[in-house]
Chains A and B, each alone.
Chain A
Amino acid sequence: MTSAVQKRPITGPEPTAIERWLRELSSNWGGIALIALFWEIAGRLLNQLWLPPFSKVVARLWDLLTDGTLAPHILSSLTVLVTGFAIALVFGLIIGTLMGLSSWVNAALDIYVNSFLFTPGLIFAPILFAIFGLSDATRVSVVVIYAMFIIIINTAAAVRHVDRPLLEMAASYGASRWTALVRIVMPDAFPLIIAGIRMGVGRAVKGMVNGEMFIALIGIGGQAAKFGKQFDFTSVWAISVFIMVIAVIINQSVSRIEQRLTRWVG
């Protein structure tokens, strides 16, 4: 009780979500600008091949984006990302729901699901590469392995821990099992499922980059690997910064959607 009172500002209305977000952003932006400045100075002073100044990295990123070097690779990466994530989403939700509803399915699969969750997905890349070769299927399946299991785990947990009194309430009003699943279990499990999907998106991006680094031929990750082997570190940094920005944008958008969809949670 007291903590809530003291955390709030003394007077004035509660800040809106946007204001809070702006404040957070600006408080971090100052620091980020400092880091960029520090990077610039360190890059100029050290004069090392592996640490080009920040301004050169930004300029190189601009070149790569405008001269058409990166465009086809970005397209290719995003295709792989979306395809892989869609597959992970569909199977993740189905398997997760089944595991949540049936203790039998859960007992049958939990060892495998957890093993995949604990294991770095890239370890399967050599096997996948052996099976699918250079086709997109290799990259897509790496993305699936990265993203699917966290979705399964969260969906299963959410469905399993559905609010019992709510289920009893539904039954007392004569809801069938199917109605209870659609009207009670799924909405109740929704926030946790969405959280799993959000984590799945983050992992999918990692899977995409790592898978492409492994194959080292196509996609943004492939380009990064190529430049790395050529000792073109300005380009490596440029692509890393680019991936970071993309990851942040995707992450922010998904979080925003998540907040919007789960406003009722409170």
Chain B
Amino acid sequence: MSSIIDIKGMSHAYGGAGGTLALSDVNLEIRKNEFVTLLGPSGCGKTTLMRAIGGLVTPTSGSVLVNGKQVRGPNLDCAIVFQNFALMPWASVLQNVAFGLEMRGVGKAERMEKAREAIALVGLRGFEDKYPKQLSGGMQQRVGLARALVVSTPIMLMDEPFGALDQQTRRYMQEELLNIWQQDQRSVVFVTHDMEEAILLADRVVLMSNRPGRIEEVLDINFERPRNPEEVERMPEFIELKEYLWNRLRQMHEMSAA
């Protein structure tokens, strides 16, 4: 069992040492092709942890290793799907999706072809020349997903990617993400504050608590794959897990409120 991401004793304080402690002594290994969700209340540092893997945040202490190498600066083994989509409003859907390939120096013909394939994969065929403003929120995040998929990195980082979407759209996106991941496996670190989403998608749920952020517990989720969300949600084990997480989160809330 080979781990692709290895986080050892990582702490992070915003504003340097002595600032607000966002993460405290985090240890976590993530395997190749594993789907991990980071779940916790707001302020638990789950996004900071994800950003540290992506190299957008340099930990104050401890280390983050990806493929055995220390992460320094933007990590090109990762592709990130952003919470607020982060689409360039002046660029077409096609140009947005091709952006990552372009930064990696892929030639124009090849990157356009790949981008078109990825656009088709996320169900946006026919929207290649539209601008982001002309798309709905769900479609915009499909563009963000396609942009991350097309660079074919071994790791995909997702920062509450469906948080801004309505319930129904969110469900479609979850199903689609499961399908895509099933066909084209890679390691995924998925940040969310939605318990059902965390269980539904993950091989392991990393439960985090706040102030300072640390890992409380790691739960193995053993539902068979490929998963059908509706079926999974009806299983007694799912309901049990949800109840358990709910109680844990409520405890944390009471602790921090006290």
Question: Using a CB–CB distance below 8 Å, which chain A residues touch chain B?
Answer: 1-2, 5-6, 9-11
Contacts and interface: CB of A to CB of B under 8 A. Distances in A.
Contacts of B19: 10-11
Contacts of B20: 10-11
Nearest to A10: B15
B47 A2 contact: yes
A10 B18 CA distance: 9
| 9 A-B pairs closest in CB distance | A10-B15, A10-B19, A10-B20, A10-B14, A11-B20, A6-B14, A11-B19, A2-B47, A5-B14
Contacts of B18: 10
A10 B60 CA distance: 15
Contacts of B47: 2
13 contacts: A1-B83, A2-B47, A5-B14, A6-B14, A9-B15, A10-B14, A10-B15, A10-B18, A10-B19, A10-B20, A11-B15, A11-B19, A11-B20
B158 to A, nearest CB: 15
Nearest to B22: A5
Interface in B1-38: 14-15, 18-20
Contacts of B14: 5-6, 10
A53 to B, nearest CB: 44
Contacts, number: 13
B69 to A, nearest CB: 26
Interface of B: 14-15, 18-20, 47, 83
Main secondary structure of the interface of A (DSSP, over half): loop
Nearest to B20: A10
Given A6-B14, A10-B18, 11 more contacts: A1-B83, A2-B47, A5-B14, A9-B15, A10-B14, A10-B15, A10-B19, A10-B20, A11-B15, A11-B19, A11-B20
A10 B17 CA distance: 11
Contacts of A10: 14-15, 18-20
A11 to B, nearest CB: 7
Contacts of B15: 9-11
Contacts of A5: 14
A3 to B, nearest CB: 10
A254 B19 CA distance: 38
A216 B14 CA distance: 60
A1 B46 CA distance: 14
B163 to A, nearest CB: 10
B48 to A, nearest CB: 9
Contacts of A9: 15
Contacts of A11: 15, 19-20
Contacts of A1: 83
A240 to B, nearest CB: 42
A45 to B, nearest CB: 44
A163 to B, nearest CB: 22
B89 to A, nearest CB: 17
A1 B48 CA distance: 13
A124 to B, nearest CB: 40
A222 B7 CA distance: 73
Contacts of A2: 47
A9 B83 CA distance: 24
A17 to B, nearest CB: 23
A250 B47 CA distance: 46
Nearest to B84: A1
B13 to A, nearest CB: 8
A9 B19 CA distance: 9
A195 B198 CA distance: 47
A5 B13 CA distance: 13
A11 B18 CA distance: 10
A74 to B, nearest CB: 50
Nearest to A6: B14
Contacts of A6: 14
B61 to A, nearest CB: 17
A11 B47 CA distance: 21
Nearest to A2: B47
B205 to A, nearest CB: 23
A5 to B, nearest CB: 7
A9 B20 CA distance: 10
Nearest to B18: A10
A164 B253 CA distance: 40
Nearest to B47: A2
A9 B18 CA distance: 12
A11 B21 CA distance: 11
A6 B14 CA distance: 8
A5 B48 CA distance: 12
A10 B20 CA distance: 6
